[in-house]
A and B are shown apart, each in its own frame.
Chain A
Amino acid sequence: EAGVAQSPRYKIIEKRQSVAFWCNPISGHATLYWYQQILGQGPKLLIQFQNNGVVDDSQLPKDRFSAERLKGVDSTLKIQPAKLEDSAVYLCASSFVVAGGPGNEQFFGPGTRLTVL
């Protein structure tokens, strides 16, 4: 089966510019996650969707970050305007179920490496 797809793989922008990332989860996975991973750190959850509804966005900097998951499949994450500290890898993941059981294995995409100059 196809894995989680993300694009672009790399993006370089200047501060105050806008950027958008796209994610296509594994077919049939209801839950989709966006993580930010700063170099040398673990992934930090930004937002979690269950189908097309937001389950958790408590750590999303809502003044500059936004995300949507229309039709409960693909998702986009946008940053507007970008800051230097947004330089990181943005990972998308999906899972079949939400509950904290063995079925909650998350499958990660290759990520988008963002550099803000």
Chain B
Amino acid sequence: GQSLEQPSEVTAVEGAIVQINCTYQTSGFYGLSWYQQHDGGAPTFLSYNALDGLEETGRFSSFLSRSDSYGYLLLQELQMKDSASYFCAVHQGGKLIFGQGTELSVKP
């Protein structure tokens, strides 16, 4: 079967850096994506890692280690608008399997 684990909640202050970890167990692994979902909104794509290493997109970076079945999302210079749920998702063949999500609360 497959499973993904990520922390359920993270709290940080404005301007800080936060890292959200994701570990996974799956067969047929193609890559790891991260999605952001604001309360009542639709999930939106943030990043994708197919190979080991760090991908940077503005204030957000994502890392993957295939040998450790581990990845993380790094959010820098946190802003209040970053308060949302963040999901890691494994690409298995042509489909996505989502984790349970991490609720990030950014405090002033």
Residues of A at under 8 Å CB distance from B? 4, 31, 33, 40-45, 48, 50, 55-56, 91, 98-102, 104-111
Instruction: Let me know if A100 and B30 touch, CB within 8 A.
Output: yes
A99, B93: Cα distance in complex, Å: 7
Residues in B with CB closer than 8 Å to A44 are 98
Chain B residue at smallest Cβ distance from A97: B94
Instruction: Let me know if A56 and B95 touch, CB within 8 A.
Output: yes
Instruction: Let me know if B31 and A91 touch, CB within 8 A.
Output: no
Instruction: Let me know if B42 and A110 touch, CB within 8 A.
Output: yes
Residues of B at under 8 Å CB distance from A? 30-31, 33, 41-45, 48, 50, 87, 89, 91-101
Instruction: Let me know if B31 and A100 touch, CB within 8 A.
Output: yes
Instruction: Let me know if B95 and A45 touch, CB within 8 A.
Output: yes
Instruction: Let me know if B43 and A43 touch, CB within 8 A.
Output: yes
Q: List 5 A-B contacts (CB under 8 A).
A: A40-B100, A42-B89, A56-B95, A100-B30, A109-B42
A4, B101: Cα distance in complex, Å: 22
Extra pairs beyond A41-B100, A44-B98 (6, CB < 8 Å): A42-B87, A42-B99, A43-B98, A45-B97, A48-B94, A100-B92
